[in-house]
Chains A and B, each alone.
Chain A
Amino acid sequence: MDRIPLEKKVLSENDRNAARLRESFKEHGILCLNLISSPGSGKTSLLERTLEHLPKGTRIAVLTGDIQTDNDARRLARFGFPAKQITTGGTCHLDALRVEKALADWPLESLDFLIIENVGNLVCPSSYDLGEAAKIVMLSVAEGEDKPLKYPSIFAKSELLILNKIDLLPYVSFDMTRAREYARSVHPGMEIVEVSCTTGQGLDVWIEWLEKRREAVTSAKIAD
């Protein structure tokens, strides 16, 4: 019996595509973020509020993934920013090749931010690199506060946790202290922002985070 060592990643093809995207984002000075949550946590609402709150002249585009319908892209397009839907037709996550194809006819040189709204799912998207600078995970207080313990992979890999729908806290049994503890137990030191896309509470902190993260990209580009 012979043994043939392979020693490569199962998703090496996706990783190659993601590396190409990452290089292209870097070259164009684009901050690319991969937004991940369960269905209904408020990803599209957060993007709507973000598009409203960003200073005029900000050059941002949104790619949104769904199994069916282009409802999200239509919701976002009315803000006048480029928004495109990737309909996966049953697949539970986006991969780098789909992102690359969707971006093919977009002028990357005219963008500062690209936000990818992944398919609503806390499991599968965590395995696929899309060339993003950071993954962001969102959890709403209408869900269980133990989500970080149940889905440690996505919470460990995401740079920021956005806790959404905090206006509902008086009506739900969500334990905010525990949620924060659980998140930091799977990701020590994890950055956390609390927001309500309905009342607008906390959105300034999120926008500040975005702008700070974008400055890091710009200064890295200048340093090159």
Chain B
Amino acid sequence: MHELSIASAILDAVQTEAEKRPGSRVTKVVVRIGALSGVEPEALSFGFSVLVQGTMLEPLALEIEAVPRRQRCPACDLTFDVVDDNLACPRCANGETILAGGEELDLAYLELEE
């Protein structure tokens, strides 16, 4: 379970941004979590809620945007979102597709109040 260290890295990043903007309050941080990131969204939300308690940033919401796995078909060059773990190309049915995304573990944006 490394979600706690991920949550801590998210909080650090928010803290850094908040210090640059005295006079406004960060109300929400939005992160993008890929299906292959190795991060469990529920565990991350839980770890985040525990860490934020008692800090100057509280109350601070964490919103997780789930990103599906993506594959690219080398035969027809289509990049597609994977549905139901089916990695075959939906256009030409080629089964030998290549990983093209879904590893995201990104800080997307913050929402602020004046």
Contacts and interface: CB of A to CB of B under 8 A. Distances in A.
A5 B31 CA distance: 11
Contacts of A2: 24, 111-114
A89 to B, nearest CB: 13
Contacts of A5: 108-109
Contacts of B69: 152, 156
Interface in A197-218: none
Contacts, number: 95
Interface string B67-104: 00100000000000000010100000001111100010
A7 B65 CA distance: 13
Nearest to A5: B109
A124 interface: yes
A101 interface: no
Interface residues on A, range: 20 to 34
A3 B109 contact: yes
Interface string A117-150: 0000001101100000000000000000000010
Interface stretch (A8-16, A26-34, A65-73): A8-16
Given A1-B113, A92-B2, A188-B95, A9 B105 contact: yes
A5 B113 CA distance: 15
B9 A185 contact: no
Interface residues of B, number: 36
B38 A153 contact: yes
A80 interface: no
B27 to A, nearest CB: 8
Contact of B107 (A1, A8, A153): A8
A23 to B, nearest CB: 21
A10 B38 contact: no
A7 B108 CA distance: 5
Contact of A7 (B17, B24, B106): B106
A126 B99 contact: no
Of the candidates A2, A5, A186, the one having the most CB atoms from chain B within 10 angstroms of its own CB is A2
Top 3 A-B residue pairs of the complex, sorted by shortest distance between their CB atoms: A124-B2, A126-B38, A6-B107
28 contacts: A1-B111, A3-B109, A4-B21, A4-B110, A4-B111, A5-B109, A6-B107, A7-B106, A7-B107, A9-B107, A10-B9, A10-B13, A11-B9, A93-B2, A123-B2, A124-B1, A124-B2, A127-B38, A149-B85, A152-B35, A153-B35, A153-B36, A153-B37, A154-B38, A156-B36, A157-B99, A187-B99, A188-B98
Interface of A: 1-11, 13, 91-93, 123-124, 126-127, 149, 152-154, 156-157, 185-189
